[in-house]
Structures are given as C-alpha cells and as structure tokens.
Amino acid sequence: MASEIDSGEPDWDTPLALTITPGLIMHALMGTASTVHTGWSSCIDDTLVLSNQVAMDDQAGNYVRLVEQEFVEEDQPDTLWHDWTLEIRVGSVLTTAHWQFPATAHPSEWDWNAREASRAFERACVLIGRRVRRTLTVEEPAQAEDVPRASRH
C-alpha cells in the first residue's frame, strides 16, 4: 500500500468523502436568503415556475436547482411575491433557500436578489462537480402607466 501512495499523484477519479450537513450548506451558501429550511420533499409548485435551472449528479441522484416563481399568499391576496428558490438535494434531504420580495419592488431589489440566488446556485453546483457559465439576457422595457403629457399653452 505504501508503494502505491509513494508512486505518484492520486488518480483524478479517486473518490473523496466529506461530511456535510444542511446547517453547513445554509451557512456557506444561503446567508443572504430571506428564509431557509430543510425538507423531504420540494416546496416548489411547478405551476408557478417562471424559470428552472437544474444541475444533476447522474450517479447519485443529487441535484442543485434554481427556480424563479411568483405567487400570492392566502393571507395577502393583493400582494404578488417574486421568489428565487435554491434547492439542493443530497441523498433524501432537501436544503432550500428563498430570496423573496413583492413583485412591485424597485428594480435594484430584483437585481440584488437575482444576483445573490445565482451566486449561491453557482457555488452549490460545485457540490455535484458542475460548473456554471453566465449568459446575458435582454429584457424588454416595462410598460409604465400612461402619464399625461404636459402641454404648453
């Protein structure tokens, strides 16, 4: 055995084992989230999903998922909420973080929450040996409410 260790570098496919807990994942990746929790099943309602990105570990069934969704709470029917949800499945345990705010929030809130959730997703993909590349998105201008035109008399 000693001759194998001394004979060179470890093989790139040498299995590595770490002990990781939901608490450690939350601490390392989800510190800026509005809320975090664990579970056995997903809290995402697929009928509310606006976008969905998934990175899979094909051998073990683990995955990292970033979902953008909008919803209305029963106790606040007049408020539409926007949510980025990071879901990490390791074994049978889901560790989930939400970055949420009212959909009417200032665009800087949208940018901050999107950036924080995306960074957490990018870092979490390392857990399953995946790499994330960023892309550009072009957004159409938001329709402003009709503003009366000023007229000169």
pLDDT in the model for residue 4: 54
Q: What is the pLDDT of residue 126?
A: 93
Task: Using alpha carbons, select from 84, 83, 64 the residue that is nearest to residue 130.
Answer: 64
Residue 131 sits at the vertex; the CA angle it makes with 128 and 135, to the nearest 5 degrees, is 140
Let me know: does 71 contact 81? Beta carbons within 8 Å: yes
According to the model, what pLDDT value does residue 145 have?
A: 63
Looking at residue 6, what is its pLDDT? Answer: 64
Q: Which residue is associated with the tokens 């938001």?
A: 142
Beginning with the edge strand found earlier in the chain, give each strand of the sheet holding 76-90 in spatial order. 35-39, 93-102, 76-90, 63-73, 49-56
Asked if pLDDT for residue 101 goes beyond 80, the answer is yes
Q: At residue 143, does pLDDT exceed 60?
A: yes
User: Does 87 or 145 have the greater pLDDT score?
Assistant: 87
Residues 6+ apart with CB under 8 A from 60: 91
**pTM above threshold 0.85:** no
**Could you read off the pLDDT of 106-139 as tens digits, one per residue?**
888 889 999 999 999 999 999 999 988 877 778 7
pLDDT 10s digits, 33-86 = 999 999 999 999 999 999 999 999 988 889 999 999 999 988 888 889 999 999
pLDDT over 80 at 32, yes or no: yes
Q: What is the mean pLDDT of residues 149-153?
A: 57
CB neighbourhood size of 76 (10 A): 10
